[in-house]
Amino acid sequence: PIVGVIVVAAGSGTRLGAARPKAFAPLGSRTILARSLDPIFSMQREAQVVVVAPAELVDEARSIVTDAAGPAAQYASVVAGGATRQQSVARGLDALGDSVRIVLVHDAARALTPTSVFDAVVTGVAQTAAGIVPGVPVTDTIKRVDDDEVVVETVDRAELRAVQTPQAFPRAALAAAYADAEREHTDDAALFAAAGNTVSIVEGDQLSFKITTPWDLRRAEALESSADS
Ligand code: C5P
């Protein structure tokens, strides 16, 4: 495949307070990881899928991936993650086959992300060779504060976007940016931009919210049960 998708699922999910690492916590009758793979195996283009899982759950992740992949299982694999998200992505990059030219990095925790967003970021990279990241307008008013929580200023939210995943990049430029990275960045787009590359935003989707807290999980479960009925 020309497209590779790295699904990072190696976090512990402390804020969710579940008994298991977050991607392996239940979402309805399945796991967050299983649900997150649905849109990926429905993409327009066939993709190589690499799931990055906690080392002790690699076997369980393999059976989830095999179930989700169906005939695409030949292009799907699981590798063990690292101590940080950035290290986990790096492990995934190392597992991509030679044919891959466009890499998508996706949080398993954004389990309800629509397939259309995956297809849109692939198209964006194919057309521009820039990094392409889904983003949504910020609806809250954002304040900058000092160390004492005193408000310094109100930031103009018209120029802000809250960014999501999947984030898509030309493979060679992303690999070079990872090889040169000198510190931890909060997302792949920041790491890619720090190496001098351009990143553009495409329209994200409210369904791509990251399941972080118990409240987020309840929201995801409510959306899933209304989708089923
Ligand atoms: O903790 P947070 O929800 O921000 O993590 C975002 C994504 O990165 C999650 O899907 C999580 O599983 C993944 N992650 C990882 N390896 C880590 C930390 C987080 O794969 N060491």
Domains of the chain, earliest start first: 3-222 (3.90.550.10)
Ligand 1 atom 7: residue of nearest CA: 107
ipTM of the complex: 0.96
Region 1-23 average pLDDT: 91
Partners of residue 7 on adjacent β-strands = 51, 106
Ligand 1 atom 6: residue of nearest CA: 107
Is the pTM for the entire model greater than 0.90? yes
Q: Which pLDDT tens digit goes with each residue over 50-94? A: 999 999 999 999 999 999 988 888 899 999 999 999 999 999 999
How far is ligand 1, taken at its centre, from the CA of residue 102, in Å? 21
Ligand 1 atom nearest the C-alpha of 211 is: 3
**What's the alpha-carbon Rg for the chain, to the nearest Å?**
17
**Pairing of β 76-80 and β 47-53:** parallel
Ligand 1 atom 19: residue of nearest CA: 11
Instruction: Classify the C-alpha dihedral 30-37-49-194 as positive or negative.
Output: negative
What is the spatial distance between Cα 92 and Cα 99, in angstroms, rounded to a whole number? 15
Q: Would you place residue 19 in the very low, low, confident or very high pLDDT band (cuts 50, 70, 90)? A: confident
183: Cβ contacts below 8 Å, ≥ 6 apart: none
CA distances from 64 to 45, 103, 220 (A): 21, 22, 19
